[in-house]
Amino acid sequence: MRRTTTTAPIQKRPFERRRRRPTPASPAMNRNLWLLAICQGLFLTNNVTFIAINGLVGLNLAPLGWMATLPVMAYVVGGALSTGLVAHTQRHFGRKTSFQLGLLVAVLSALLCCYAAYSRNFWLLVTATLVAGYYNANAQLYRFAAAELALPSFREKAVSLVMAGGLLGAVAGPNLAAGTRGLTDVPFAGAYLALAGVALLAMALLAFIRFPPPPPQQAHNGGRPLGQIMRQPVFVVAAAASALGYGVMNLLMAATPIAMQVCGLPFSDVAIVLEWHVIGMFAPGFFTGHLIRKFGTLPIMGVGLALNLVCVLIALTGVEFRQFLAALFLLGLGWNFLFTGATTLALTAYRPEEKDKAQGALNFCVFAVLAVSSLASGVLVTTQGWTLLNFGSLLPLALTGLALAWLGLGRRRRRSL
């Protein structure tokens, strides 16, 4: 008896019938990321301009000379004090609303700085920069928000791309300060007005960014306690590398103009050195994420640490223009590798519902060390000298190296079990 079989028509699987969505080749294809990168650049424009003018305005208004840098320190201290409040607003209002609140504070504090300059009120200037620290703490979260705007396979590149937006601030900040210095009868009052305009521009751009909604469980479950999150080795190393790496960078960068002046180098040389330093800080952002994706987070952080060590060694060989130039460029490059790597590493230390308190704790560590290094930089370079300052920076770099080795050995040990 002949056996007959009927063959059913071959049907396509559902995923074959649907049009496949193209996978982006890089986070550069994401419009949201580009807009956020521009917002990062405008934020750095604010920071660079503040650093450039607050000390000079403070010197003009301060009752005592040593108080001149208090407005600069107040900006960092305000950021440290605002981390908890920023975490609260991020958790309850979401990324976009919280970021817009930060920019609103930037507008109001810039106007308050302008009024302080007009009224020659030093303590009002210090208060205004302290309030501006809320914007500083808020915008420091742009790099974490970048990871949420990209596919998981591209989050390293997203973080580095947004950080690369700082190049805009490197160029715009000094030029903004110089171009608006004489805009009014009061020196630099026009610069503060311009910064209010920069913040308004950032608000307009941020309105076009679509941030993903918070996870549903966030409203009901805050995740693990912060203490438990912070006790994880990966969190400890990410926080230590971020804070110590940023602290060393700030310590040496802030002391460089003073050291070069003491060595008799002209201000034009100082400007060139700082320009290449800032380029080293942000230009690698276009490829750091790719390197992290290819070689891993810890190896790239190790390279950043090595670059910082080479920076110190070059700085110890002499005090001529070429030594300052090479050392500060490598310092910026090393900071980028170390800080971008630490940010990427931190993303693995917490769950989505824990991101606000975890990121707030990370930023508090960074701001606390920055506040100390801002004060120590001027004191050490004027009392102990450039050479001893560089020797002193080896201690936090050594601690960072020990932290990276500890995490790397722990991971290797777990893989071997």
Q: Where are the domains of the chain?
A: 29-212, 225-417
Residue of 329, 335, 299 whose CA lies nearest to 314: 329
- For position 323, what pLDDT does the model report? 94
* Amino acid (one-letter) located at 275: E
- Tell me the pLDDT of the chain averaged across its residues: 84
In angstroms, the CA 222 to CA 37 distance is 29
Mean local confidence (pLDDT), 309-317? 95
Lowest mean pLDDT among 23-32, 51-60, 107-116, 263-272: 23-32
189-245 per-position pLDDT tens digit? 888 999 999 999 999 999 999 888 766 644 445 688 989 999 999 999 999 999 999
> Is the predicted pLDDT of residue 377 greater than 80, yes or no?
no
- Residues ≥6 apart with Cβ < 8 Å to 228: none
- For position 143, what pLDDT does the model report? 86
In angstroms, the CA 333 to CA 414 distance is 32
Highest mean pLDDT among 6-15, 336-345, 381-390: 336-345
In angstroms, the CA 88 to CA 293 distance is 32
| Domain 225-417 in the same topology as domain 29-212 | yes
Instruction: Check residue 3 and report its DSSP letter.
Output: -
In angstroms, the CA 128 to CA 111 distance is 9
SS3 content of the chain, % helix, strand, coil (to 5): 80, 0, 20
Mean local confidence (pLDDT), 253-272? 78
Tell the CATH superfamily of the 29-212 domain. MFS general substrate transporter like domains (1.20.1250.20)
Instruction: Check residue 149 and report its DSSP letter.
Output: S
Mean local confidence (pLDDT), 338-359? 89
Lowest mean pLDDT among 6-20, 97-111, 276-290: 6-20
Q: For 225-417, give the CATH class.
A: mainly alpha
Mean local confidence (pLDDT), 150-160? 81
**Cβ–Cβ < 8 Å for 286, 156:** no
- For position 342, what pLDDT does the model report? 93
**Cβ–Cβ < 8 Å for 182, 190:** yes
> Is the predicted pLDDT of residue 286 greater than 70, yes or no?
yes
Query: SS3 for 416?
Result: helix
pLDDT category of residue 66 using cuts at 50, 70 and 90: low
- And the tokens for 342? 């630490």
115-140 per-position pLDDT tens digit? 999 999 999 999 999 999 999 999 98
Query: SS3 for 227?
Result: helix
Q: Is 395 exposed, middle or buried (0-12, 13-18, 19+ CB in 10 A)?
A: exposed
- Residues ≥6 apart with Cβ < 8 Å to 196: 106, 107, 110, 111, 114
What are the φ and ψ backbone dihedral angles of 109, each rounded to 5 degrees?
-70, -35
Euclidean distance between the first and the last CA atom of the chain, given in angstroms as a whole number: 62
